[in-house]
Chain A
Amino acid sequence: MTEPHHPWLTRYLVLTAVATLGLICLGGLVTSHGAGMAVPDWPTTYGYNMFFFPISQWVGGIFYEHTHRLVASGVGLMTLVLTVWIWVVERRRWMRWLGVIAALAVMLQGVLGGLRVIAMQAGLGVVHATLAQLFLVLVSALALFSSRSWMSRGSPTGTICVPRWTVQLYGTVTGLIVLQLVLGALMRHQHAGLAIPDFPAAYGRLWPAMDAESISRYNQLRMEATDLNPITAGGVALQMAHRVTAGLVLLGVAGLAWSALRRWGWRQRLSQLSVGWLGLILGQVALGAATIWTNKSADITTAHVAVGSLSLVTGAMLLLACGRVSRRLVPAASEGAQPGWDETTPGRALLA
């Protein structure tokens, strides 16, 4: 029996995903402006109920942090509504529970954001940033699962057979993007500015020196205008790891796009989406370089965060869509016979 489709629920889920992306951008602006601690109390704002904090006092770093808190409250409310909505109209039990997980995740996310301020732990900021990305993937996946094409037991990629090894490659590259986003969050939440101020070289070399004397010199030479933390060897190593992982992601996505074009041609939706994904990654590499060349300009850095989120969501959605139609290539039964496709699809069985 085909599940009933709820187009308004799908639209609402897409809207929540867009709002979440906007919230991630605002969070990016908070860290880009070094304003995470500009409001030292939580859940109040300088002693006010946060919804009644006077607009005249939204100055400097407070503007970014306070706006982030208000929009986060809105996204939290939207998430609670979608949880109830899914619970009421959905017949798929796993879908209902995914809605509940979304509600729990958004509440945990709010508490993490507050604890980061109160406990003054930058590490919590990294967890907060990573959970934000995973939450965006979850809401986007809910939107995909409620879409008409998914409900009709198809896939947005169309009716093609995707070999399982290809699905595994999509999974590996998406996993690399998650790793890359965690590395990015670790860099951002050190609040040390640019641990390496040049690109494509690193302190004029292929691989920068990281001994104590060199690190001390990097700090002395930096003429920072803002309250940056000192550069550390760990920070330099992190940025190098971020650069290397970026290269691996670019190679992986380029390989998948090329493979999709070669196998299915340009007209196939999977090929188009894979090429679009490659476009995002190329844009992301350019924004990464621009982040360094503009000395971490807040707008560019935030755009880098936003395109990073979009790259992850695209990878995750492609992975789910491919998994939906994946097949295992069965070797030929006898000599002279053609190899065929195994018709059991674990993705379909799991998410039917």
Chain B
Amino acid sequence: MRTQNTCLTVAVLVGSLSALSAAEISGKVKLNGTPPPEASMKMTDPVCSKERGAETISSRHYVVGADKGLANVLVYIKEGAAPKPATGEAALLDQTKCEYQPYVMGLQAGQKLKIRNSDPTLHNVNAQPKINKGFNIGQPVKGMVAEKTFDKPEVFVRFKCDVHPWMFAYVGVLDHPYFAVTDKDGSFKISGVPAGKYTLEMIHPKCGAKTMEVTLADSDIKTLDVTLDVPAAK
């Protein structure tokens, strides 16, 4: 019994120490260039029209905030991080006002993904991975929740609703927890990263990807400012 307690104490101490010594990467992703206008879409479901009120539906390819900060960029360690089993709580992909929320999200391989229908109308959830196993499920009733997992890393897995063709979202599946998605101002923060040398990737569904090398010492707080370009029409 005493040995067990000692082991537990040591494990907690090691865990706390590694958490204390873990580094952090934060920063901002900005958009360079003027994005084309978003495409708008006619709603074909009266329930969606009612749910959204005066709000129209349009694509969300470029969500640009103050100071040209670009939202919906998945920032993650592409190389250098050891795979880690998922321990965190389930992530949520919501269908609300006939739109996926969030539009871009990160998920750990093996982590539970809750997919919820918060609309008083039918949705189907059609996940279309290339590496993982796809699925297409119906959620005809408001409040329905389905739980799914993906086993292998894959950036991005696209989700779509065939009932409402304007509804699509992207989920980046990774084999470690070192990722973040930029918020409406383009800011991101990845915490708890062990010291080491890494390749960091910033990927956006339209702007594509950019990588950079990052070296972190214990308890480092690294701030990065990255710019992604609007694709040039050649």
* Chain A residues engaging chain B, CB cutoff 8 angstroms: 33-41, 46-47, 57, 59-63, 65, 117, 120, 216-217, 220-221, 223-227, 229
**A225 touching B138 by the CB < 8 A rule?**
no
Residue picked from B45, B162, B168, B231, most chain A C-beta under 10 Å: B162
Cross-chain pair count, CB within 8 angstroms? 92
B47 within 8 A of A: yes
The interface residues of chain A lying within 8 Å CB-to-CB of B79 are none
B21 within 8 A of A: no
**B166 touching A40 by the CB < 8 A rule?**
no
- A62 to B163 Cα, complex, angstroms: 6
Report the nearest B residue to A34, measured CB to CB. Answer: B165
* Chain B residues engaging chain A, CB cutoff 8 angstroms: 36-41, 44-48, 58-59, 61, 121-122, 124, 126, 128, 134, 136-138, 140, 158, 160-168, 206-208, 231-234
- A48 to B40 Cα, complex, angstroms: 33
The interface residues of chain B lying within 8 Å CB-to-CB of A33 are 165
**A35 touching B165 by the CB < 8 A rule?**
yes
- A217 to B36 Cα, complex, angstroms: 14
**B136 touching A60 by the CB < 8 A rule?**
no
**B164 touching A61 by the CB < 8 A rule?**
yes
10 contacts between A and B (CB under 8 A): A35-B162, A36-B162, A37-B162, A47-B140, A57-B140, A62-B163, A120-B134, A120-B136, A217-B231, A220-B208
Select A34's contact among B36, B162, B206, B208, beta carbons within 8 Å: B162
Interchain nearest-CB distance for B154 vs A (Å): 14
**A46 touching B206 by the CB < 8 A rule?**
no
**B138 touching A37 by the CB < 8 A rule?**
no
Given A60-B44, A221-B231, A224-B39, do A39 and B167 touch, yes or no (CB 8 Å)?
A: no
Select A227's contact among B61, B167, B232, beta carbons within 8 Å: B167
**B140 touching A37 by the CB < 8 A rule?**
no
The interface residues of chain B lying within 8 Å CB-to-CB of A60 are 44-45, 48, 163-165
- A46 to B125 Cα, complex, angstroms: 13
The 6 closest A-B pairs by CB, nearest first: A225-B39, A220-B231, A227-B160, A227-B168, A38-B162, A226-B165
The interface residues of chain A lying within 8 Å CB-to-CB of B41 are 225-226
- A228 to B183 Cα, complex, angstroms: 25
